[in-house]
Each structure stands twice: as C-alpha cells, then as structure tokens.
C-alpha cells in the first residue's frame, strides 16, 4: 500500500479546500486498467519513497499486485487526472469467506467478521498520489469515492507496519487499526520464509457501523492523531 508523501490536513483545521474540479476522478474498467498498467506503474514510481536503485524492483512489484487484483471479482479502479495522471486508487470487495483476514493475530472483531460474511467490506489495496499534484485532498477523495461507489459499510486495507508515513496518513483520515496480520513477503523482494507484519486498518461507513463501533479494537497507539 502506498500513501502520499505528504499527509493531508484533516478537514476543518484551517486548510483551504482545493476546488473539486482541480483533479477529475474517472473509473476504469478491467480492460482500461490492463491497457494503462504501464502508465500506472510510472505514476507509482514517481510517487514512491523508494531508495535510489530500487525503483525497478518496486515498479515490478506494483505491476504484480495490480495484475493480481485486476483478476479479482468486483475489481474497481479510480484515477485522478488533470493534464496527466495525478493519482489512483483501486481494490475489490472482501470475499465473504474471510480469506482477506488470513494471518490475523488473535480473534477478528465480531463486527468486522459479520460485515465480511454479509459482503459489506471493500478492500482498498493501493492509493497512489503524485507528490506534485495541486489537489491537497486527492487521496481522501479517491478513497471516499471508491468506497461510496460500492456502497461499502466498512473499508479495509493492509499497511506495512514499518511504513510509518502510510500508517499515519490512514489514521489521520479516520481509519482504525484493529490489529496485525502476518503474511509471506513477495519472494522477489525478500526470502519467501520471511513474514511481513501488516497493520489491518478499517474505516467504518454508514449506519451499520457508525452507530455501533464497540466491536472494533481500540489501542492507545492506534487512535487518530490529534
């Protein structure tokens, strides 16, 4: 998961909102996403925090993730564009059988388990925003639009625990950290036997979750920054 290089200020903290028309949001179907995959990979490289010499490896890993997600049922992708691609976000509905949560450390919160089984959870697997875009709220708009288009009651995403910038960005947008998930790493990056620790983040949406969120885990370290 890639978050913007800068964290967007929460609404209502004196920031000047960017006009809604500054960057247009557009949905791509599977065929369009396949056709533009190289352009999206270029956007990822330009937006990533990869160290010098690591850009190619990061680009190839992004393309593998994108190709795999395109094949998933319900895949959806949004791009933000003005004169060029300014950002993108994509994901898919979390399967009802709960395979998305495999490797979760401990018991999954009951409310999350129930919403998953009922098909009301949508996973955002990538958010990429170009650091030079003038639209300060683009990442927030991309995720909100993607979730709204799918009438999700709960957004879900996984963030590498070592990526403090991405974790802080999601928490600043109102996402909640409900625990850790251990997954095998990409074999092209590290040894397959080396697991990576991911933070499982969720974003309650709509009446099913906003009225009753006591089923979600809350830890002091996971509260939204002030």
In a domain, 8, yes or no: no
Domain range for 174 is 24-222
In a domain, 9, yes or no: no
Reported residue count of the chain is 226
Q: Which residues of 194-206 are buried (b: 16+ CB within 10 A; e: fewer)?
A: eebebbbbbbbbe
In a domain, 18, yes or no: no
Q: Are 149 and 205 in contact (CB under 8 A)?
A: no
- For residue 135, the model assigns a pLDDT of 79
d(CA 206, CA 123): 16
Categorize the per-residue pLDDT at 10 as very low, low, confident or very high, splitting at 50, 70 and 90: very low
CATH number at residue 148: 3.40.630.30
Give the model confidence (pLDDT) of 111-149 as tens digits: 999 999 999 999 999 999 998 887 778 999 999 999 999
Tell me the mean pLDDT in the region 14-20.
Answer: 43
In a domain, 12, yes or no: no
In a domain, 47, yes or no: yes
pLDDT of 17 > 70? The answer is no
In a domain, 143, yes or no: yes
The closest of 196, 198, 204, 145 to 176, measured between CA atoms, is 204
User: Any idea which of 17-31, 59-73, 184-198 has the lowest mean pLDDT?
Assistant: 184-198
In a domain, 163, yes or no: yes
Structural domain count of the chain: 1
Give the model confidence (pLDDT) of 146-159 as tens digits: 999 999 999 999 99
Categorize the per-residue pLDDT at 207 as very low, low, confident or very high, splitting at 50, 70 and 90: low
């Amino acid at each position: 998961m890639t978050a913007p290089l800068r964290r967007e200020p929460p609404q209502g903290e004196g920031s000047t909102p960017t006009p809604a028309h500054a960057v247009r949001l557009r949905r791509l179907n599977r065929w369009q996403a396949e056709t533009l995959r190289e352009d999206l990979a270029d956007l990822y490289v330009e937006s990533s925090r990869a160290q010098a010499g690591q850009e190619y490896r990061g680009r190839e890993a992004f393309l593998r993730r994108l190709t795999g997600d395109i094949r998933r049922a319900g895949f959806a992708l949004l791009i933000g564009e003005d004169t060029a691609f300014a950002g993108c976000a994509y994901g898919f509905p979390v399967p009802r059988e709960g395979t998305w949560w495999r490797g979760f450390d401990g018991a999954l919160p009951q409310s999350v388990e129930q919403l998953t089984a009922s098909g009301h959870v949508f996973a955002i697997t990538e958010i990429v925003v170009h650091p030079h875009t003038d639209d300060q709220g683009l990442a927030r708009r991309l995720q909100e639009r993607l979730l709204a288009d799918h009438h999700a009651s709960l957004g879900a995403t996984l963030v590498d625990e070592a990526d403090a910038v991405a974790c802080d960005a999601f928490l600043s947008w109102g996402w909640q950290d409900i625990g850790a998930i251990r997954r095998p790493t990409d074999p092209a990056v590290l040894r397959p036997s080396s697991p990576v620790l991911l933070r499982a983040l969720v974003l309650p949406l709509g009446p099913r979750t906003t009225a009753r969120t006591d089923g979600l885990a809350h830890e002091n370290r996971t509260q939204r920054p002030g």
